[in-house]
Structure 1
Amino acid sequence: MSRATVRRNVHFLNGENNEILGFWQNGSVSWSQIAEWMHIVIILPSTQYAFFRCLESGNPENPATNHGPSVNLSGNNNAVHPGYYVVLSANGEPLDIPITEERAIPRSVSYCLTNPDPRVSISISLQFYKVVILIVAGQQIAAFRQRVRERDDCCVVTGILAEGDYDAFEAAHIFPLAHLDLWRSGQWSQKIEDDFPDVGDSKIHSIQNGILLAEHAHTFFDKYKIAIDPDDNFKIISFVKDRFGFDGRYMIQSNYPQHYQPLRSLLKYHFRMAVLCNMKARGPEYDWDEDIPPGMDPVAEISNSEQGKLRFELVMAERLNHLVD
């Protein structure tokens, strides 16, 4: 018997009593949504497996034999009750449940848009690389930030109004700058309808790739702890215990023309990444501590952390991609 170490209150077990999937239910996730999520993580046609509620109290010992009837997923808008469920064949027999090896693309929390003056250069000393990279936030970033602010004027997740004071708000890229090569190879620019002239050759700085978020919401969005489901009326799902009231809200949308709205397919891509990142048995794939005390060297802290090399590369790629777009 194996269980995930990550905190969650819904557990999906296989016939051998090993946890294979799970998530934290804050109250808004229905069985019909779970059916869609399973299309992302399980490599089997949905007709070949079914979910059964475990009947044992507490941590099950015999889920394959001690369970209730199968749960009907199709069109089932009932909320998933916290607890243990076993995934078996449609007729209740133990079944190998292959889980996708696809991983969410890693993201680092972006701080590149908090500087109020885009003309200010930011020098980052890289101690162990013995180089200094000079990063200049250019006109594309300034235009992106300003346009997102004007369109939204509130955190689209919490609904908190900025009212012209953006100190605690950030214009966030839905598709991260650190993965500019993936943006290009995925031909996302061809889906952008934004006709603003200063979006860059790649169009990654289009307003359609941006949303305004309060600082804490931006952190959770970057870390895949929350995501917006465009297939469910842009409902916000929290994949962790919801301390801030994100879960079950709906994204605030402005009355701007459609070709200036956040691109639905980009939000759907981010949502897919959040499911991949959080649903598997091992839990979040990338959950880096962002609390770096004042006076500490942020580069040293990042490079010495778990998955530090990957995290460091992402931070650097994001900043360098300001120059190469």
Structure 2
Amino acid sequence: MPLDRSRGREVHFYNVFSPAQALGGLRLNDTMTEKAFLSMLQILIIASHPYSVSFRGTGVALTPTDNLLRPGDYDIIPNSPGGTIFITDEHSILRVPSSTVTGRDERFRQRVRERDKKCVITGSVNSEADLDEWSGFEAAHIFPIAGETLWISNGFSRWITNRTDEHDTGINSCQNGLLMLSNIHKKFDSYYISVNPDDDYRIISFSRGDPFHVAGRVLDPVCRAPNNEKSARDELLRWHFRQAVLANLRGAGEPSFETDFPPGTDMVGEILSGPQAAKRMEAELFSRLNGVSLAQGSLSQGPL
């Protein structure tokens, strides 16, 4: 069964003219600030005029400060008569956990490992990197390889400056990768953890209570050194942050899918019986076909 992102929300926000119908909400942790909340609403809210956001019943507008966001209801109020407030109809891009992909590009993994040598979210250093022992560490794609068609159609290749040739889309560049602990990787793929490059690379947790204690940390500088051609691109981090906001705050939120299947589980049946079955099946199949293609390419080239 898919997990419901709207369960356990402590914050809800409304069009002031429809105070009984929430536009969305979020689960709260003790690092969520008013500034962060307002920046997320800028992604979600479409308004004809400037607006303010106030804690219901106070009439006091929030300001972009580091004050912690209080649990409760927030009203979005147009600053001009006749101003209109809507929530975007944009959906986040469905992605499947990268760990399910076989034959992932070896060069991508190797280059991300060489650059980072640690989980750039938690700061946990791989003390056995010199032994080439990487158990528990995974190279994560910021933009998922299952979405390569979308990557190409939107021209995201323009952000990658170290492509090997004109046929290389760049999706497997280390500029589209971060090294993470495996459990953090799953949260990142599910949009429960993200990074806001426009807030000093602040790490945002969309889980209640921040169970992995990463919220409020800063993305490790090792993966984002200025003028380093191997560094992760801000444009891709910004894209991922937008997807995370859409997935977690917009309306009831996007479904979050179970990945811990016991042996013998009919995974196809689970997918087909759940929401967004066609899109999820397409993403799963594309990931696996992409992985097989990459694996065959690596074999034909010989050892790296």
TM-score range, shorter chain: 0.7 to 0.9
Corresponding residue pairs, total: 281
How far apart, in 1, do the equivalents of 2:119 and 2:6 lie? 32
Q: State the Cα deviation string for residues 148-192 of structure 1 (Å, max 9, x = none).
A: 111111111111222223111111111111111111112121221
Unpaired runs of at least 5, structure 2: 298-304
Which sections of structure 1, spanning at least 5 residues, go unmatched? 55-66, 114-121, 123-136
Aligned to 1:318: 287
- Candidates 39, 45, 59, aligned match of 1:69: 59
In the other structure, the counterpart of 1:44 is 47
Please tell me whether the aligned partners of residues 39 and 46 of structure 1 are also in contact (alpha carbons under 8 angstroms): no
What is the CA distance between 1:250 and its match in structure 2?
Answer: 1.1
Kindly provide the amino acid, as one letter, of the partner of residue 299 in structure 1: V
Per-residue CA deviations over 1:215-246 (Å, capped at 9, x if unaligned) read 11111111111111101111110112111112
- 1:155 is aligned to 119
Q: Secondary structure at the match of 1:50?
A: strand
Q: Secondary structure at the match of 1:69?
A: coil
Kindly provide the amino acid, as one letter, of the partner of residue 204 in structure 1. Answer: I
Partner of 2:7: 6
Provide the rounded CA distance (Å) in 1 between the counterparts of 2:272 and 2:116: 35
TM score, norm. by length of structure 1: 0.79
What letter matches 1:181 in structure 2? T
Q: Secondary structure at the match of 1:43?
A: strand
The 3 A distance-change label for structure 1 pair 24 and 46 is farther
Q: Which amino acid aligns with 1:289?
A: E
Instruction: Give the counterpart letter for 1:280 in structure 2.
Output: R
Is 1:262 matched with 2:232? yes
Q: Which residue of 1 aligns with 2:146?
A: 178
Q: Would the aligned equivalents of 1:292 and 1:301 in 2 still touch at CA under 8 Å?
A: no
CA distance in 2, matches of 1:149, 1:199: 25
| CA-CA distance at 1:199 after TM superposition | 10
Task: Give the aligned partner of residue 68 of structure 2.
Answer: 79
Amino acid at match of 2:206: F
The partner residue of 1:203 within 146, 156, 170 is 170
Aligned partner of 1:235 in structure 2 is: 202
In the superposition, relative to structure 1, how do residues 248 and 200 fare at CA in structure 2: closer, same or farther (>3 Å)? farther
Distance in structure 2 (CA, Å) of the matches to 1:25 and 1:110: 27
CA contact (8 A) 2:115 2:222 kept: yes
Q: 2:221 aligns with which of 250, 253, 261?
A: 253
Say whether the 8 Å CA contact 1:12–1:87 is kept in structure 2: yes
Separation in structure 2 between the aligned mates of residue 310 and residue 286 of structure 1, nearest angstrom: 12
Distance in 2 separating the partners of 1:264 and 1:233? 11
CA RMSD of aligned residues (A): 2.5
Q: Distance in 2 between matches of 1:40 and 1:23?
A: 14
The 2-side partners of 1:46 and 1:157 are apart by: 37
Q: Which whole-Å CA distance do the structure 1 matches of 2:215 and 2:122 have between them?
A: 10
Asked whether 1:213 is paired with 2:180, we answer yes
Matches within 5 A, 1:14-53: 14-15=15-16, 16-17=18-19, 18-45=21-48, 47=50, 49-53=51-55
Match of 1:278 in 2: 248
Q: Distance in 2 between matches of 1:22 and 1:249?
A: 23
Higher-RCO chain (CA-CA 8 Å, sequence separation at least 6): 2
Q: Following the alignment from structure 1 to structure 2, what is the Cα–Cα distance between the partners of residues 144 and 321?
A: 14
